[in-house]
Structure 1
């Protein structure tokens, strides 16, 4: 019997002046463990006249995780954080009761050709921490657990796996793991996973149960304990998931909550510009037109 419950293809989305591939949420699978939102950015090539500019915008009820393969992003937030994100580093911003941030091409790159490629992820907070104080954590590439098993290299970006722990301060049991293979290899990691699990193929291909899967596909497992697959040579995949949160989630724009009232409060606060602003920035992303609120299972 197949252990693949669902195959999710990337869907193009415009996030302002930048196109991304949306993976989560998906109509048939709103969350994988506590992971509630995943965008694949790029790979995008920008000229000296093109830059990434996402003005200040708010979040509640979640942690954001930014992980780059190529390029640079300048992160600024309402805590006063100002830091450049480089490939292999982790930006982990916990919104809690509310935070505002902007994401832009660094000033020194704005008049030159550049590339940008990476993942932007939201992880929902447990219900009792939804309104915690906001915080920010940055991990350098050297701080992340890395190890080699033959021709296969592993990097634990967040959470716990095989007795190892990333320094990223997560708030529920989860894992976000990078696997790279130089040669064709069978990978069996099910006994070290827990909760729900998804496998995202960045490059190369994966074969399992007689089928071959290509880049820009997310495979969701029926049972994380049965996670076995073969990676083609020069492939990179990401395994993510963890224990699912017991409550449903509402998601509206950049807001995530178990209670619809928290969403409405955040909407009114943003309309009135009552969130703490990002120091030195005056522009902002306006609240979008009212869609139907999406309840996530």
Structure 2
């Protein structure tokens, strides 16, 4: 998705928890025209969790026939986008010529590197009937040595993503390694991304990582005596053996990885260098980015 704000800084409610939970972030909800996005990262309290620098929870949204996702072409640099859907479908196009429907359980990894442009819309046959959309889109900050790599696009169908049961809990290892499984999804730094579905009363020990967090997409969790409400992101301390328990049926995302240096974030651009973002802004304003084949007529202007 495109970031509709120029500078991504949020005022977030938070509370200090037990030793395991350092911070609970209540995302801001934004209406992007017919569907809601809850944005948890970056915040004024926490910019990143490992390499993850942007976290959007899309929906769940109900669209009547004739309406749906319609994000015009927009640019990115020095980051990678990761899209994962629970329900619905998004049609991805980019300036490399990629044309790929994203469906539930797939991992869609777009590496912006030195610069890419993409759009997110829907196939006509999807939009022609009432439908739902629900999912997560995250951005990875690329390590400094990889910020200017050639742009690339990778798509991993749901059948390629490791799925297992951990003490009765359904788990999918989306990126990195956890619970004895290794995801095939390409990474540029130590990265953790796991989805889990817990029934009420079930528990799950979290994978270890230098930095990590748990997002409650639906339901409610607790760690010791601290509850994590629905639609909140809990920053978890680097303590081994942290266990979360589902207060009610819950779908969660676990994310993290190696600690990275702070980044500059402005509009759809992320970089370790302020001057790189300034250059990207000038390039987009002057229309020096490549166009998206099959979607050349529209674009999102640079916010003033």
The 8 Å contact of residues 249 and 257 in structure 1, kept in 2 or not, is answered as: yes
Uncovered stretches (5+) of structure 2, i.e. residues with no partner: 1-17
Residues 86-112 of structure 1 deviation map (CA, whole Å, 9 limit, x = unaligned): 011110000000000000021112221
| TM-score (normalizing by structure 1) | 0.92
Secondary structure, aligned partner of 1:205: strand
Aligned to 1:114: 131
Alignment pair present for 1:27 and 2:20? no
Aligned to 2:92: 75
Alignment pair present for 1:184 and 2:198? no
The 8 Å contact of residues 194 and 225 in structure 1, kept in 2 or not, is answered as: no
Secondary structure, aligned partner of 1:234: strand
The 8 Å contact of residues 88 and 134 in structure 2, kept in 1 or not, is answered as: yes
Aligned to 1:209: 224
Question: Aligned partners of 1:61, 1:16: CA distance in 2, in Å?
Answer: 27
The 8 Å contact of residues 181 and 232 in structure 1, kept in 2 or not, is answered as: no
Alignment pair present for 1:12 and 2:26? no
Alignment pair present for 1:169 and 2:183? no
User: Aligned ranges for residues 93-242 of structure 1 at < 5 Å?
Assistant: 93-189=110-206, 192-242=207-257
Secondary structure, aligned partner of 1:262: helix
The 8 Å contact of residues 207 and 230 in structure 1, kept in 2 or not, is answered as: yes
Alignment pair present for 1:257 and 2:250? no
The 8 Å contact of residues 73 and 119 in structure 2, kept in 1 or not, is answered as: yes
The 8 Å contact of residues 80 and 141 in structure 2, kept in 1 or not, is answered as: yes
CA distance 1:18–1:205, shift in 2 (3 Å)? closer
Aligned to 2:54: 37
| TM-score (normalizing by structure 2) | 0.90
Equivalent in 104, 117, 128 of residue 87 of structure 1: 104
Question: Aligned partners of 1:186, 1:111: CA distance in 2, in Å?
Answer: 41
Equivalent in 64, 76, 83 of residue 81 of structure 2: 64
Q: Please tell me the root mean square deviation across aligned C-alpha atoms, in Å.
A: 1.4
CA distance 1:92–1:275, shift in 2 (3 Å)? same
Aligned length: 286
Aligned to 1:268: 282
Alignment pair present for 1:288 and 2:303? yes
The 8 Å contact of residues 44 and 117 in structure 1, kept in 2 or not, is answered as: yes
Deviation at 1:165, TM superposition (A): 1.5
Deviates more, 1:197-206 or 1:230-239: 230-239
